Structure 1
Amino acid sequence: MTLAQLSLVTVCTGCVAEQPTSDSRENATSATPPNIIYILADDMGYGDLGSYGQRKTKTPNLDALAHQGMRFTQHYAGSTVCGPSRASLLTGLHTGHSPIRGNPAWTNSGTPVDLKPQDITIAEMLKDNGYKTAVIGKWGLSEAKEDNNAHLPAMPNQQGFDYFYGLKAHLDAHHYYWHRLFENNQPFVLEDNDYLNNEGVYIHDLFTDKALEYVAQQDAEQPFFLYLSYTIPHLALTVPEDSKQQYLDLGWPKREMDTQGHYRNDAEGNTTYAGMISRMDDDIGKLMQTLEQHGLANNTLVIFSSDNGHEYDRGFFDSNGALKGRKRDLYEGGIRVPFIARWPGKIAANSESDHVSAMWDMMSTFCDFAGAKQCPKNDGISMANTLLGDGKQLQHDYLYWEFNEREGPLQAIRHGDWKLVKRYNKPLELYNLAKDIGETNNIAKQHPDIVTQLAKQIEASRTPHPEFTLKKLPNPWKKKNKNNKS
């Protein structure tokens, strides 16, 4: 893209995009609205699946999903950590406009920010358009403590979901043997679970069982939306021994893990990491079988993605592929994620797309597929035309991210093949992703005019938020526990 083309981009101060008009609405709603299952992994890298180049960890069911559907090579998470990424998914807003722009306590006041009643979610939109809605697994967007009247703000049932089973808060999801879960707004305790010693019921298995049960209860009369929010492969690294068996005795180097810190990891990391991903893959295979058994597969759109880049790998698994960075970076390794979509007879099998898309596109896309008469204002563009094979796909003018934790405020913007990264108290970095996907060559000095234009767009891409200003924040966990992670 030339500088002349770049200059045509409108700098929109504090704007939130209206639903764009296109042929996608007509194309997407020409048949019965599909069931939608959106499966989200936690901290899975772009290169952690066989269909994205992984050579060590086995993911046959997700690879089959890619073979049966469309694999995207330029899809982006809402953020580089889980809380704001999930908020972006649910609201259709990027982190310059989202109500949640950081993980809990990384705010000006040190107080977590939750969703509010006025924050319209995908679930609310779909429910208004005749869908049954459910979230199973990690919610992580309701940090406020229950009061004496057991009032539970920002819970899934208050944000458009008919059914919820899983983990309420962010830190609960750091443990695979956590003892306190919720079914709808009712907490319950797994008496035999001991998260400090990784004993009891592996709660990932409970999420899978509930998802299979939920799907088996559905029929063709009313469409459903299931947001299956897994916690694999987020730390802590732990998995039942049966999932490690295929990776033992392969001569892999051993990686010793901390077993007594905040994260109660298993002693050896590599076989555990691979085993966790393979266990999730097996369970997604069970989910696909359940759809087939109950006659739901042909009219169900199944999507798989990750909430941000990997955290665990140090090179053995090549979790990034060719990408630079990881979780908590705004380089590609922190925000570019796998995205697979399958809808038999609608999405071409064994297809691939390089369409530049983001998690906040789901609101507009699902509006189209649901036949919504009015879509909430959002920052997304419907991907329906790409998914259905129509060449008239609208493109983003830009994608924007911001993030603020230990390294200070970070911002990034992608426009066409250009990407500008702004780090706290560091020189601006400019990359051409078409020529340098690994972001190894900062060409800011060679293209000062492009840097100027993109820097202006970065400043114009966010609305003020009293809790998320771009200043250096103190570490809120340092005084509580030196081992706590965000």
Structure 2
Amino acid sequence: MRSLKFLIVIFLAVNFANCQAQKQPNIILIVADDLGWGDVGFNGQDKIKTPNIDLLAKQGMVFNNFYAGSTVCGPSRASLMTGMHMGHSTVRGNPRWTATGKPVDITKEDVTIAEELKKAGYQTAMIGKWGLAENLEEGRPNEQGFDYFYGFNKHRPAHHYYPDSIYENNKKLVIDGNNWKKKEKHYIQDMFTDKAKNYLRKQNDKPFFLYLAYTTPHYELTVPEESKKAYRALDWPLREMKPRHYLHDKNGHVTYAAMVSRMDQQIGELMSQLKEQGLEENTIVIFTSDNGHEYDNVKNEFFNSNGPYKGRKRDLYEGGVKLPFVVKWPKKIKPNTYSNHISAYWDLLPTFCDVAAMNPTANIDGISMLNSFKGKDKKQLIHDYLYWEFNEGRGPIQAIRKGKWKLVKRYQKDFELYNLDEDEGETKNLASENSKILDDLKTKLVDARTENENFPLIKLNPNKK
């Protein structure tokens, strides 16, 4: 009898140990704002120093074909949170760009990453720029599955780096001593980093999801002076920035580079905190951006922020939607590797569900990337196509990617068809030479979307009340 009891105890102990070893991984998703594909060292940037982000790339896997949900932040973040592309998303444009001119937020019917992960036992936190609760109602992070929130609900307040106030959960807090007009006292990116580090210090044996959405390097261009020192010494040509709504610092090139490098340094601090807490081995860390760059002048490039690609923010060419993307997962993802799997923002929700050993609740557009994470591209499900639409000043514009082919339809312009395998810069329109492919993609362009009264594909007037 004693032997039987002993065996039972050993069996239970082994199973407990196995359960501990198989604990669901923590997930940290870090998103920059308006950071171009080419603004990081691992994608060839040689002026702006990003050693900590580049280290993540060496320790993990770089995705060479990862795309934003949209070419501007609001709809892109909605796609990220809900697993829907622009043909089905609740939010398809930034606040003013709706049929009524009134902002549209995600709703209680939308199922977010945070809501899904909470069902799997995760703690959830959102720190930084949310941008999906312009109406301060059901779109707020605490109403969308996040246990903790510190940041901007709306877009416009996030345009300033020394805000007078910030939200913690659903409470608006005054930031002591801050003056956004004079750019005094606490730099909000520093505060986001401190909150994220404090959040890590509080973690124990329960899995967590931390969504850290920096506003760097979105306009306005400003950063504490100590971050500029290394770049001032390089004697770069002056690109003078004029302060208007955005209270830019004068020296654009130096400021932009310093903002990115300060964020990189803070990501390094976060990774050190993760290691100090003993959480590194069981944490997935992802770094990416929300859409293409805005700062670099594509007609007179200095940083080459879009690398070999055409366009920038507000374009549906590659430079507007292709993103830097790196994922690190110790002992699960082989270090210093890459994947050419074609994926997008709407794939992260099902990927995180897959990681948490659950299925998504809603019928979504995303496909889990987990097999690609693990180097099993041959087993990875692939998209039939990726779809985008965008309707601001030059809109409406639509685009679709199917394998190597990319179709772009601009307002009152002919269709553009590109072979991305042979022409990644989208320089040669092949529409007249490939009628069968063109017809197929034109059909998909129609089938990819459902009508949405808030976001019709007609010319919009942002001043309409």
State the TM-score, normalizing by the size of structure 1.
0.89
2:6 match:
none
Q: Secondary structure at the match of 1:408?
A: coil
**Residue type of the partner of 1:292?**
K
Q: Which residue of 1 aligns with 2:185?
A: 200
**1:258-407 equivalences in 2 (<5 Å):** 258-259=242-243, 261-314=244-297, 315-390=301-376, 391-407=378-394
* Secondary structure, counterpart of 1:236 in structure 2: coil
User: Within 5 Å, which residues of 2 pair with 1:431-442?
Assistant: 431-442=418-429
Asked if 1:422 is matched to 2:405, the reply is no
Letter in 2 for 1:400: Y
SS in 1 for 2:288: strand
1:331-361 CA distances to partner (integer Å, 9 max, x unpaired)?
Answer: 0000000000001100000001111010100
Which letter maps to 2:181?
L
Distance 1:77 1:62 in 2: 19
Deviation at 1:56, TM superposition (A): 0.1
Give the superposition deviation at 1:153: 2.9
**From 135, 138, 142, the counterpart of 2:133:** 142
3-state SS of paired residue (1:283)? helix
**In 2, Cα distance between the equivalents of 1:239 and 1:180?**
18
Where does residue 20 of structure 1 map in the other structure?
none
The equivalent of 1:46 in structure 2 is 37
Q: How much has 1:198 moved relative to structure 2?
A: 1.4
**Counterpart in 2 of 1:158?**
143
Matching residue of 1:5? none
Alignment partner for residue 96 of structure 1, among 87, 101, 106?
Answer: 87
Match of 2:447 in 1: 460
C-alpha distance in structure 1 between counterparts of 2:201 and 2:92, whole Å: 36
What displacement does 1:30 show? 9.3
2:27: which partner in 1? Answer: 36
Q: Which residue of 2 aligns with 1:68?
A: 59
Which one of 240, 247, 250 corresponds to residue 234 of structure 2? 250
| Partner of residue 173, structure 2 | 188
Q: How many residues align?
A: 442
**Distance in 1 of aligned mates of 2:349 and 2:115:** 11
Partner of 1:200: helix, strand, or coil? coil
What is residue 211 of structure 1 aligned with on the other side? 196
User: What's the TM-score once normalised by structure 2's chain length?
Assistant: 0.93
Q: Are residue 56 (structure 1) and residue 38 (structure 2) matched? A: no
Q: Percent identity?
A: 57
Q: Give the deviation of 1:375 after TM superposition.
A: 4.0
The Cα shift of 1:376 comes to 2.6
One-letter amino acid of the counterpart of residue 183, structure 1: E
- SS at structure 2 position matched to 1:113: coil
Computing the radius of gyration over CA atoms, which structure comes out larger, 1 or 2? 2
The letter for the 2-side match of 1:52 is N
Shift of 1:74: 0.5
Give the letter for the 1:141 counterpart.
Answer: L
TM-superposition CA deviations, 1:101-133 (whole Å, max 9, x none): 000010000010011111100000000110000
The CA distance in 1 between the partners of 2:241 and 2:313, in whole Å, is: 19
Q: Aligned equivalents of 2:277 and 2:131: distance in 1?
A: 31
Q: Match for 1:282: what amino acid?
A: Q
Task: Tell me, in whole angstroms, the C-alpha distance in 2 between the residues paired with 1:319 and 1:445.
Answer: 31
Two-structure CA RMSD over aligned residues (Å) = 1.3
Larger relative helix fraction: 2
Q: Is the 8 A contact 1:409 1:423 kept in 2?
A: yes
The one-letter code sitting in structure 1 at the alignment partner of 2:225 is: E
Q: Which residue of 1 aligns with 2:101?
A: 110
How big is the shift at 1:373?
4.6
Q: Secondary structure at the match of 2:397?
A: strand
Once the two structures are overlaid, the 10-residue window that deviates more, 191-200 or 327-336, is 191-200
Deviations 1:382-422 (CA, angstroms, capped at 9, x unpaired): 10001012231111100000010000200000001000000
Deviations 1:280-315 (A, max 9, x none): 000000010011101000000000000000000111
Q: What is the rounded CA distance, in whole Å, between the counterparts of 1:362 and 1:377 in structure 2?
A: 14
Gaps of 5+ in 2: 1-19
